[in-house]
């Protein structure tokens, strides 16, 4: 049989499967089931630790056996949950029944009615999903962002002394340093990365409509708000929202998606700059044996990695935009629109991962073409006009800007010779002329 990935509707699970498969541990249907089981079991253990009167005799030595259910979560468990769901037509209830089956096997049937005690589905979903998102980001996405930033820092250091003709509005402008231009992206990414990591992973945990109604009516002497805060914040490592409806309000989730979108946009900006530098021949690309750039033109080595990254960022950001706009909006205490949308949070993260790896691969292929860079600088002596007119301003020379404008806006070529001749005509001291003569497009690069 031909590999099923060839028949996948989404390229995430088809063409790009090997690039994105590590995300399946966090964002697949199987992963969601596992994280739900994790929350349900840890919640049961927390109830035992209060303890509720009916759980005071529960053998705490059994806790590890319960935890082993999600620690060693077998594929057969996933299939069992899905089989139960065919009857319940309810995914979270299917998880509850699955755990009750495990309690029966472990001889714990007397306590199994305290599985999912007092909870609504969203108490499980709105803890499971931020938990798996937290782990997916921290274990997969964030390390890729960190690696990209580190690579850019290394390139900036390697190219720190390479002068570069800048371009504003597509026109030659005051020269810069290649290393400094890379540091622009380093700074932007680092700032946004810190904002991404600072967003709390908020969770809803408070019963049917957020008030612990069922918990309180059954055990009115227990401070359920303190219990919920301790369970979510300390045991799960999330941040419990204090006042909710049936669902988490998702404001912090929207902030997280917006932060990730900004990071993607910066990478897209980097992609386009690198693509343009390659088209200007400032960079060549390492050639991989057997690789084809064009089906018709044998000479081509296309900047496909940067293009691939840009395309995937477009898809990722479109989905992130929808998630951040849609999720915080729900009718009254709850509608179901968040449920189906949340099942797709792995999709923009997969496109983001593809983009991160593509950009990294493209950067690692770059070969600096210093000959072309210096040639472009030498062909654009007009850019030193800013330097000359600024020094003339300092010397109180009459109309320096206009004098340089008249020189540099002619159709005749401006080069070292014409600039030198212009300097000779200036009515300034020989010391000032000497100062002007040492300025070249290659050394007029500022402080960086």
Catalytic residues, by residue number, are 169, 294
DSSP string across 31-72? HHHHHHHHHHHHHHHHHHHTT-GGGTT--GGGHHHHHHHHHT
Token pair belonging to 406: 């008249």
Q: Which residue, chain included where needed, has tokens 């509707």?
A: 9
DSSP secondary-structure letter at 123?
Answer: H
Contact 23, 349 (CB under 8 A): yes
Beta strands 171-177 and 163-168 are: antiparallel
**Which of helix, strand or coil describes residue 174?**
strand
C-alpha span between 302 and 411 (Å, rounded): 34
Contact 359, 263 (CB under 8 A): no
C-alpha span between 162 and 165 (Å, rounded): 10
C-alpha span between 356 and 147 (Å, rounded): 9
Residue 332 φ then ψ, to 5°: 45, -130
């Amino acid at each position: 049989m031909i590999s099923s990935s060839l028949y996948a509707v989404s390229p995430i699970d088809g063409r790009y499967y090997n690039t994105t498969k590590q995300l399946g541990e966090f964002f697949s249907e199987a992963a969601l089931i596992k994280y739900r089981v994790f929350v349900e079991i840890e919640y049961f253990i927390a109830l035992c630790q209060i303890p509720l009167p009916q759980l005071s005799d529960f053998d705490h030595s059994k806790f590890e056996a319960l935890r082993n259910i999600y620690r060693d979560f077998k594929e057969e468990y996933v299939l069992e949950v899905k089989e139960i769901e065919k009857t319940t037509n309810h995914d979270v209830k299917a998880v509850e029944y699955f755990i009750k089956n495990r309690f029966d096997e472990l001889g714990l049937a007397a306590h199994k009615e305290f599985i999912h005690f007092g909870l609504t589905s969203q108490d499980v979903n709105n803890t499971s999903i931020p938990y798996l998102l937290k782990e997916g980001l921290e274990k997969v996405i964030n390390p890729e962002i960190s690696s990209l930033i580190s690579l850019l820092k290394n390139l900036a250091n390697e190219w720190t002394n390479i002068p570069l003709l800048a371009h504003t509005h597509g026109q030659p402008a005051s020269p810069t340093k290649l290393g400094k231009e890379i540091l622009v992206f380093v700074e932007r990414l680092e700032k946004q990365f810190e904002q991404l990591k600072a967003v709390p992973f908020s969770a809803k945990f408070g019963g049917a409509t957020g008030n612990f109604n069922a918990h309180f009516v059954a055990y009115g002497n227990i401070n359920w708000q303190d219990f919920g805060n301790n369970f979510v914040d300390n045991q799960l490592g999330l941040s419990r929202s204090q006042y909710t409806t049936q669902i988490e309000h998702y404001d912090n989730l929207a902030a997280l998606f917006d932060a990730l979108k900004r990071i993607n946009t910066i990478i897209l900006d980097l992609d386009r700059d690198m693509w343009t530098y390659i088209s200007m021949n400032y960079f060549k690309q390492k050639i991989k044996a057997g690789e084809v750039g064009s089906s018709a033109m044998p000479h081509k080595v296309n900047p496909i990695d940067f293009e691939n990254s840009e395309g995937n960022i477009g898809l990722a950001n479109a989905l992130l935009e929808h998630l951040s706009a849609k999720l915080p909006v729900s009718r009254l205490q709850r509608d179901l629109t968040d449920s189906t949308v949340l099942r797709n949070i792995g999709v923009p993260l997969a496109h983001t991962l593809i983009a991160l790896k593509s950009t990294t691969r493209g950067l690692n292929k770059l070969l600096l073409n210093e000959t072309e860079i210096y040639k472009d600088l030498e062909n654009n002596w007009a850019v030193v006009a800013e330097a000359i007119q600024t020094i003339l301003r300092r010397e109180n020379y009459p109309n320096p800007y206009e004098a340089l404008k008249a020189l540099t806006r002619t159709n005749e070529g401006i080069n070292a010779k014409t600039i030198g001749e212009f300097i000779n005509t200036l009515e300034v001291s020989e010391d000032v002329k000497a100062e002007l003569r040492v300025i070249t497009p290659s050394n007029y690069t500022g402080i960086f």
